[in-house]
Chains A and B, each alone.
Chain A
C-alpha cells in the first residue's frame, strides 16, 4: 500500500496540489458513490438530484426555507469551531440547543404579553445563550474535573436535556388537558421573529449569524484566545509552560460553542416552530459537526458548506413527494460526502512533501 503510493506519488501529487481539481474530484467521487446507492435501490439518480435542486432553490419560498435551516445550522457550526480548535469533540450541541430553547421559552412564558416585545425577544436571546453556555459548561466540567471524555459527557447531557424538555412539555408546560409530543402552547404572535415578505427568513437571525461569523473569524485569527486555543489543542502539556491554563481555555471554548448553540435553539422557537417541541434541535447539532469537518475547520468555508447541507435537507422533501423515495437519502449523501473528503484530504496531506528547512 505505502510503497505503491510513493511510486505513483509524484504524478498524482501534481494533480492534487491543484485545489480546483481537488474539489472537483471529491464531488465527482461522492456523485458516483451516491448514484451507485441510488441505482442499487432502484432510484433514478438524475431525477433525484434534479428534485433536490428544484426543491431547494427553484422558488423564493423554498430558498427562504433553506435559509431558515441555514441560520441555526451555521450558528452551531461556528460554535464548534471554538471547541475543535482546542481539540474537543463537543457532541453535546444538540443538548445545548435544547436548553437554549427552554430558556428562551421560559422568558417568553414569563412575559407573554408585554408591551415591548422587542425587549422580551432580546432578553430571550440573551438568556438562551446563557442557557446553552451553561449546559456546555457542565460538559466542560465533566471533562476537566470529572475526567469524562467530552464525547460521552456531551451525549449524556443530550439525553438529560431530552428528558428535561419532555418533562416540561408533558408536565409543567403541557397544554391544558393534553400531554402530547406536539409541544407547548403557541407563543404569542407578537413574539414571533418577523419574517421577510412571503419567505421564512427572519432578518434578525440572518444578521446575527453573519455577525457571529465575523467576530469568530477575528477572535480565532487575531487574538491570544485564538492562538491559546490552538496551542492547547495541539499540545496541552507544553501550553502549561507558556502560561496557558488548558482547563480554563477548554471551558471558555465550551462556553462560546454552547452560547451559539443555545441561541440557535432560541431561533428555532421564536422563528421556526413558535413553540417548544421535543425535537426542537432538529438534529442540527450533529449535522453541524459534519459541516465543520467538511469545511476542514476553516471558518470561511463553513457558511458555504452549511448552505449546501441546508439545500440537501430542504430539497430532499421532494423525494418522498415526487419520487416516493425516503428522504433520509440526504443524510446518506452528506455522510458519504464528508467521508470522501476526509479520504481525499488525507491523501492530499500525505502526498504533499514536508516543508523544506533551510537556514534563513
Chain B
C-alpha cells in the first residue's frame, strides 16, 4: 500500500478480538477509526500473549506490521510494555501507542512512544455504587486479575463507590459492608496457571457474597451468576470492559463500566497523519454531560436490566454529582490496608498518587501485593 493514500495502523490485542471484553473494545475502536478517518486502514492481530502464541515476540509482530506498511502501532496491554519499548527503539520513525502503560510518564520510553488510558476509576466507582445499592447480604466481591498499580486503583475506586452508597445513600453502618478481592493471577483464566475464575466466583456466591464485580477480561462472573440464578439464587454480577457485556446475562447484570477508545484513537491517529504527534501521557475522563456518548466520552457505564429503579435513580444522581465535583471520593482521610496514611484529612489525591496506588485501602479484604 502506498503510504500517501492510505494510512495503515497496526493493533496488537492481548486477548481474542471477540472476547466480549478489553480486546474487543479496542478492536471495535479500530473499526471506529476506519470509518471516521476514511483513508485509514487497520491491521490487527489478537491473542498476543506468550501463552496463546508461544515463541512469538512483540518486536517480531511490530516488524511484520511495519513491513505491511503500518506507520503507527497500538499495543493494548500493560504486559507488552517491554516488547513495545524494544520495538519503538528499533523503529524510531514509526509511532507507537502503549495503552495503559507509563513509559512516557517515567521517561523509560523513547520519544516515538505515547501512553493513553481512560479514567476507568469513575466507571468502577459507579459499579461499586450499583453493587452496594443492590446487595442484600452486604457482601460484595471483586474478581481481580493480577496485582499491579492499575488493578489496585480500580479495585479501590470500586470500594469507594460502594462505601459511598452504603454510608451516604443507604445510611448503613460501615462495619456492615464487606468488600473482598480475590486475584486470579492474570486477565483471563489459564488452566494450571491462574486460579479458575469459575471456581472463585462460585465459592464467592457459596459463601454469602451476592454481588460479584468482575475485574477480568472474560465473562465467568456473569456466567456463574446466571447458573446460580437458574438454581433460584438471588445473586448479581457486574462485568467489565465491554459495552454489550450484559447481553445474555440480563437477569443478573447490574450494568457494565466500559472503555470507549474510538475517540482517543481517532484523535491520536489524525495527529500522526498530520505528522505532529508529540510524545504524551493521556489519562482521559468521561464526558460528564453524557457519559455514554460514543463520540466524546472515553469511559462509560451502561445500566443493566437487573438494576432496580431506586438504585438506578440514585446512580444517576451519583454520576451527576461526580461530574460537578460535588462528590470527590479520592479525598482524605483515607488509610492504606496497613494503616499507613494514603490521604490526610481533606487532602485530594493528585493523578500521580492515584496512578501509583500502593496498597488497597483499610476496610477492604484481600491481598494488596504478592507477599
Which residues in A have some Cβ–Cβ distance to B below 8 Å?
55, 59, 61-62, 65, 69, 159, 162, 166, 170-171, 174, 177-182, 186, 200, 272-275, 277-284, 313, 317-318, 320-321, 327
Binds A, one of B48-56, B163-171, B264-272, B342-350: B48-56
Q: Which of A159, A186, A279 has the most C-beta atoms of chain B within 10 angstroms of its own C-beta?
A: A279
CB <8 Å contact, B369 and A182: no
CB <8 Å contact, B193 and A317: no
CB <8 Å contact, B370 and A174: yes
Q: Which residue of B lies closest to A313 (CB)?
A: B55
Q: Collect the chain B residues with CB atoms within 8 Å of residue A280's CB.
A: 50
Cα–Cα distance between A62 and B60 once the two chains are bound (Å): 8
* Interface range, B side: 35 or more
Contact of A179 among B44, B82, B148 (CB under 8 A): B148
CB <8 Å contact, A275 and B82: yes
Contact of A320 among B46, B55, B82 (CB under 8 A): B46
Q: Mark B350-371, 1 if CB is under 8 A from A, else 0.
A: 0000000010000000000111
Q: Collect the chain B residues with CB atoms within 8 Å of residue A69's CB.
A: 55
CB <8 Å contact, B82 and A317: no
A92 → chain B closest CB, angstroms: 15
CB <8 Å contact, A65 and B51: no
CB <8 Å contact, A181 and B57: no
CB <8 Å contact, B55 and A186: no
CB <8 Å contact, B79 and A181: yes
CB <8 Å contact, A170 and B370: yes
Cα–Cα distance between A59 and B146 once the two chains are bound (Å): 38
Q: Collect the chain B residues with CB atoms within 8 Å of residue A272's CB.
A: 55, 57
Binds A, one of B62-70, B196-204, B289-297: B62-70
CB <8 Å contact, A180 and B79: yes
Cα–Cα distance between A166 and B50 once the two chains are bound (Å): 14
CB <8 Å contact, A320 and B81: no
Q: Would you mind naming 21 contact pairs between A and B with Cβ atoms under 8 Å apart?
A: A59-B67, A65-B60, A166-B185, A171-B371, A177-B358, A180-B186, A181-B50, A181-B51, A181-B146, A181-B193, A182-B81, A182-B82, A272-B57, A278-B50, A278-B51, A280-B50, A284-B54, A317-B60, A320-B46, A321-B44, A321-B64
Cα–Cα distance between A181 and B185 once the two chains are bound (Å): 8
Q: Collect the chain B residues with CB atoms within 8 Å of residue A318's CB.
A: 64
Q: Collect the chain A residues with CB atoms within 8 Å of residue B79's CB.
A: 180-182
Q: Collect the chain B residues with CB atoms within 8 Å of residue A281's CB.
A: 54
CB <8 Å contact, A277 and B78: no
Which label, helix, strand, loop or mixed, suits the secondary structure of the A interface? loop
Asked if B192 CB lies within 8 Å of chain A CBs, one says yes
Asked if B311 CB lies within 8 Å of chain A CBs, one says no
CB <8 Å contact, A180 and B55: no
A268 → chain B closest CB, angstroms: 8
Q: What 3 pairs between A and B have smallest CB-CB spacing?
A: A182-B79, A282-B54, A282-B55
Asked if B43 CB lies within 8 Å of chain A CBs, one says yes
Q: Which residue of A lies closest to B367 (CB)?
A: A179
CB <8 Å contact, B149 and A177: yes
Q: A171-B370, A177-B149, A177-B369 are in contact. Are A317 and B81 (CB under 8 A)?
A: no
A343 → chain B closest CB, angstroms: 28
Asked if B61 CB lies within 8 Å of chain A CBs, one says yes
Asked if B45 CB lies within 8 Å of chain A CBs, one says yes
Q: Collect the chain A residues with CB atoms within 8 Å of residue B63's CB.
A: 61
Cα–Cα distance between A317 and B10 once the two chains are bound (Å): 14
A265 → chain B closest CB, angstroms: 13
Q: Collect the chain A residues with CB atoms within 8 Å of residue B192's CB.
A: 159, 162
A337 → chain B closest CB, angstroms: 19
B156 → chain A closest CB, angstroms: 15
Cα–Cα distance between A181 and B55 once the two chains are bound (Å): 15
B26 → chain A closest CB, angstroms: 15
CB <8 Å contact, A317 and B53: yes
Q: Collect the chain B residues with CB atoms within 8 Å of residue A275's CB.
A: 82
